[in-house]
A and B are shown apart, each in its own frame.
Chain A
Amino acid sequence: MGNQVSMPAARAAPFAPNLTHKQRVTRLYRHALRTARDWEPDFDLFVKDAEKIQARFKKNKNLTIQEGQRLVEAGLRELISNRHPEPYIPPFAPGGTAYQRNVPCPPEDVNDLLPPPERRIR
């Protein structure tokens, strides 16, 4: 579902394949909070949105797996529709403004540090 829209890698974790249900729920919750934080810079106002999101998740805590999966799918669609055009990414994280800026050069004798050719992963 996530590959039908464009989004930065930092916001793509809930759409990863082969996740357990618990992983999908926790990732959805975390990214819902991050999306709310993208839209609301004032922390006091963000806390109110966060409490609403938390209440929605708590209300649906004790459901069957099938109902839970259906709700997770709906939640992911809502996450896509609510995504911010410029989500916040920390500067030194992948996708951030300062990521990979001054990458140190590898040492000259790097071959000494590598395992022998027959044991290298290709």
Chain B
Amino acid sequence: MMPIIGGVIGLVMGRKIGGEGSSRLNIRSMRWSVVMISMELYEVVINGVKKEVRMWEWMREGVERVECGVIEEREVVEMMWMVVVVGSIVEEYSRWYMKEEGERVRFMSIVSIFIGSMLILVGSENMLQMYIGWEGIGVCSYILISYWSSRSETSKAGMKAMVINRIGDMGIMLGIGKGYVSYGSVSYGVMKSVVIEEDRIMGIMIIMGVMTKSSQMGMQTWLSDAMEGPTPVSALIHAATLVTAGVYVVIRMEGIIGGKEIMIGIGGGSIVYIGMLGVYAQDIKKIIAYSTGSQLGYMVLSVGVESSNNSISHVINHGMVKGMLFMSAGGIIHSRKEEQDIRKMGGGVMRVSKMGVIIGSMGIMGIEYSSGYESKEEIIRESSMSRYGEISSELGVCITSYYSIRMIKRVIVSEGKKRREEEEEEGMKRSIMWMSIIGVIIGYMKREWEREEWEEEIGKKEKEMMMIGVVLGIYKEKIKGRRIGRWIGKKWYNEVWQNRWIGRRVEEMCREIVEGIDRKILEECGGKGSREMMEVMERVVRRRGNVSKYGIGMVIGIIMWGWSCG
């Protein structure tokens, strides 16, 4: 609750304490959260204690009680730790990145409230509390994406994120209802104890939520447009927290919901489908966004092949690495006066940001001893159970290496035109360095502690695909295929088809409803019709001199009769 308390106080007292005061308040509340959750992490992960904190009873339906609280299992506490650590580092980063922006009070407070909502989602013991956190992060995401609301593209991007995520929200709501009907409860523990067979229909409904929130194939258009928001928003929300919420919910519901083959299909397809969009992207933030969508495909694929441990591990590693990548990109953008196109980058100083880009890209590619190596290797190994999963995960390695090397080449290696630029702020440098250190340490520790003997065959194939991607990224950066370029540049014509087949038809249907039912039938029966009827009655009554007196007498008589009966 500390982040939410800090955010609400910041909003209420913002005028008095100002932007700087609000930033400090929110950063301090986040640091307290890091300390407290680190203590819980030690108890739960190291000492093996399992805790359940029940705060209050929300509702009761017969014997079924819904209680609000926090459950502290290993995966829950690890995820919470990642959320608060990334959140506190990003808030520190935001203090410097947004130093010259107006409305910092609103920004910092909403970021804190977002983190609080995410913690509610992660720590929930039942689906209803999870849904409160789910909606909270959706609303905060909309507010933060639309931060620069004077720009029309930004407002549209926020609206698009909200509208597309509503589809998933509807799926989650239906899933909650189906879960209650099937298992008689919304509590994860109760559902797991009574399950006989996994509920496939419930799984399909929950997968709708995963597809939209985690930006999987077909529903990924909102994520690239969400880069309209400030870079700290991208680092926190679109790398580490909101986009992983869908995957996390599915991991928590393992054993309850079915549809694993659907997850394999969607995850494997997203790895290639969304990864290819990064091949032609020129905006550095969009390249990283498409990379996020592709890596989320790995996580969904991993859940589909029943390897949830690896999935949660990759969620945590990826969150740290991607957050760092976004912050480093933000440092470069800030120093280059808001230039985001990689064709105009290159040269310059910005050592810390460039180091962050290199370390982050290594983690995403899965190079040995980097943060993302261990979890990604495990997922690729497990996905070899399914031929489709194996091919898509290996192709994904090649595509990831390609766009990562292309980005490093453009941003760091190439000699750009000499332009006026500034060195990054000290606060931003500190944040990037902290995130790098934590990410590298976690990657090394996981590699050493959880090392397994793998078949050499798998590791070798992955290395070959990585080398192909690296070589293509260095020597064949410019793929000038006109048709394929246009297809990918138009995001596989996703939006065009969605508008043509769904958007326009829904719009026509809504117009018919508004004009046919709302403006004709309801108005005639409602306000407009009543008004006309009263006017007619008034004209009739006025013509007959004594009718009004008879009417009043009748009304008085009815009231007196009613009074005498009562």
Selected contact of B486 from candidates A39, A85, A97, A100, CB within 8 Å: A85
Q: Tell me which of B278-286, B434-442, B446-454 binds A.
A: B278-286
Query: A39 and B478: CB pair below 8 A?
Result: yes
Query: B417 and A43: CB pair below 8 A?
Result: yes
From A37, which residue of chain B is reached at the shortest CB distance? B343
Q: Considering the chains assembled together, what is the distance between the CA atoms of A92 and B338 in angstroms?
A: 8
Complex interface bits, A45-84 against B, C-beta within 8 A gives 1, otherwise 0: 0000000000000000000000000000000000001101
Chain A binding surface, main DSSP class: loop
Query: A102 and B150: CB pair below 8 A?
Result: yes
* Chain B hits for A101, CB < 8 A: 148, 150-151, 154
Q: Considering the chains assembled together, what is the distance between the CA atoms of A41 and B410 in angstroms?
A: 8
Query: A85 and B478: CB pair below 8 A?
Result: no
* Chain A hits for B148, CB < 8 A: 100-102
Query: B101 and A102: CB pair below 8 A?
Result: yes
Query: A91 and B337: CB pair below 8 A?
Result: yes
Is B490 interfacial (CB 8 A cutoff)? yes
Complex interface bits, B481-519 against A, C-beta within 8 A gives 1, otherwise 0: 010011011100000000000000000000000000000
Q: Considering the chains assembled together, what is the distance between the CA atoms of A98 and B230 in angstroms?
A: 10
Query: A103 and B340: CB pair below 8 A?
Result: no
Q: How many B residues touch A, CB cutoff 8 Å?
A: 31
* Chain A hits for B489, CB < 8 A: 84-86
Query: B488 and A85: CB pair below 8 A?
Result: yes
* Chain A hits for B341, CB < 8 A: 88
Q: Considering the chains assembled together, what is the distance between the CA atoms of A85 and B482 in angstroms?
A: 9
Q: Considering the chains assembled together, what is the distance between the CA atoms of A68 and B489 in angstroms?
A: 33
In angstroms, how far is the closest chain B Cβ from the Cβ of A12?
17
Query: B414 and A41: CB pair below 8 A?
Result: yes
Is B480 interfacial (CB 8 A cutoff)? yes
* Chain A hits for B417, CB < 8 A: 43
Query: A97 and B102: CB pair below 8 A?
Result: no
Query: A102 and B102: CB pair below 8 A?
Result: yes
Is B192 interfacial (CB 8 A cutoff)? no
* Chain A hits for B564, CB < 8 A: none
Selected contact of B150 from candidates A39, A85, A86, A103, CB within 8 Å: A103
Query: B482 and A82: CB pair below 8 A?
Result: yes
Is A42 interfacial (CB 8 A cutoff)? yes
Q: Considering the chains assembled together, what is the distance between the CA atoms of A89 and B208 in angstroms?
A: 36
Selected contact of A85 from candidates B280, B339, B344, B410, CB within 8 Å: B280
In angstroms, how far is the closest chain A Cβ from the Cβ of B5?
30
From B227, which residue of chain A is reached at the shortest CB distance? A97
Q: Considering the chains assembled together, what is the distance between the CA atoms of A97 and B340 in angstroms?
A: 8
Q: Considering the chains assembled together, what is the distance between the CA atoms of A88 and B343 in angstroms?
A: 8
* Chain B hits for A86, CB < 8 A: 280-283, 489
In angstroms, how far is the closest chain B Cβ from the Cβ of A112?
24
Selected contact of B340 from candidates A40, A41, A91, A102, CB within 8 Å: A91
* Chain A hits for B478, CB < 8 A: 39-41
From A104, which residue of chain B is reached at the shortest CB distance? B150
From B228, which residue of chain A is reached at the shortest CB distance? A97
Query: A84 and B485: CB pair below 8 A?
Result: yes
Is B193 interfacial (CB 8 A cutoff)? no
Q: Of residues A81, A91, A97, A98, which shows the largest number of chain B Cβ atoms within 10 Å of its Cβ?
A: A97
Query: A91 and B343: CB pair below 8 A?
Result: no
In angstroms, how far is the closest chain B Cβ from the Cβ of A55?
20
Q: Of residues A43, A81, A102, which shows the largest number of chain B Cβ atoms within 10 Å of its Cβ?
A: A102
Q: Considering the chains assembled together, what is the distance between the CA atoms of A99 and B228 in angstroms?
A: 11
Complex interface bits, B281-296 against A, C-beta within 8 A gives 1, otherwise 0: 1110000000000000
> With A86-B282, A88-B343 given, is the CB distance from A81 to B151 under 8 Å?
no
Q: Considering the chains assembled together, what is the distance between the CA atoms of A117 and B438 in angstroms?
A: 64
From A91, which residue of chain B is reached at the shortest CB distance? B338
From A41, which residue of chain B is reached at the shortest CB distance? B343
Query: B343 and A98: CB pair below 8 A?
Result: no
Q: Of residues A81, A91, A103, which shows the largest number of chain B Cβ atoms within 10 Å of its Cβ?
A: A91
* Chain B hits for A82, CB < 8 A: 482
In angstroms, how far is the closest chain B Cβ from the Cβ of A25?
24
Complex interface bits, A96-122 against B, C-beta within 8 A gives 1, otherwise 0: 011111110000000000000000000
* Chain A hits for B344, CB < 8 A: 88
* Chain B hits for A39, CB < 8 A: 478, 480
B→A interface (CB under 8 Å) = 101-102, 148, 150-152, 154, 228, 280-283, 337-344, 410, 414, 417, 478, 480, 482, 485-486, 488-490
**Extra inter-chain contacts (15) besides given A86-B283, A100-B152, CB under 8 Å:** A39-B480, A40-B478, A84-B489, A85-B486, A85-B488, A86-B280, A86-B282, A88-B282, A88-B343, A91-B337, A97-B228, A97-B283, A101-B154, A102-B150, A103-B151
A-B contact pairs, 30 of them (CB 8 A): A39-B478, A39-B480, A40-B478, A41-B343, A41-B410, A41-B414, A41-B478, A81-B482, A82-B482, A84-B489, A85-B485, A85-B486, A85-B490, A88-B282, A88-B341, A88-B343, A91-B337, A91-B339, A91-B340, A97-B228, A97-B283, A98-B338, A100-B150, A100-B151, A100-B152, A101-B148, A101-B154, A102-B102, A102-B150, A103-B151
